[in-house]
Amino acid sequence: MGLLSWTGFSNVTAVALNVALAAEAESSLLSPDQIAHYVATAIFTIINLLVAYIILKLFVFKKLIKVINGRKESISNSVTNAQEKEKQADEKLDEAIKRVDASHEEAMQIIADARNQAEKQSETIIETAKKEAQEIRDRAEDDAKRTRQAMLEEMKDEVADLAVSIAGRVLGSCNDKTSEKEIREKVMNELQTAEVKTGE
């Protein structure tokens, strides 16, 4: 049926050409032959355009559409890949920012812990130094007390020896007739003399 219609089409075209050629023999702008010639030319042009369209559609448009669709798909894939890569880059950037923030917070925490530790250590050192200073002061006071006590004991012994010595002198130099007042004066004189000697 396709061949038949093509044959019929060819016949119509041939008839149109014949009519156009015959119409050219008698030429007048608006004569029926000239109008028939215009109509035949228009039909022939339309038929040529339709044939050209069909040929282009069968052989060129399909391939062209395939190429265009392939290119469109390639561009679409490229855009999709670019969007995915951009999304991945954004995710990596967010992750990097989070890591930087976390490391910053961790660094601040480490600094705060180190500062607290240093303060505790300084307080411990100060407390230890205070305790040691207090112990040294207490030992010094104890040593001073012991030394003073020992000196007092030594002085008591010396004073006792001195008193015995003075009493012996006074009693030895006194006879029964001396009064108590005179003995007292002699003891005082001997004590003053002894104090002057011990002061030296």
pLDDT at 25: 54
Q: How far apart are CA 128 and CA 49, in angstroms?
A: 110
pLDDT at 29: 67
pTM for this structure? 0.35
**Selected residue with higher pLDDT from 115 and 24:** 115
User: How confident is the model over 58-95, as pLDDT tens digits?
Assistant: 888 788 888 889 899 999 999 999 999 999 999 999 98
Distance of CA 61 to the CA centre of its chain: 60
**Selected residue with higher pLDDT from 30 and 197:** 30
Nearest alpha-carbon partner for 167 in 197, 145, 139, 190: 190
User: How confident is the model over 128-152, as pLDDT tens digits?
Assistant: 888 888 889 888 888 888 888 888 7
pLDDT at 134: 87
pLDDT at 6: 58
Task: Give 1's pLDDT tier (boundaries 50, 70, 90).
Answer: very low
pLDDT tops 70 at residue 114: yes
Q: HSE, CB side, 13 Å, CA atoms: give it for residue 84.
A: 6
The residue count for the chain: 200
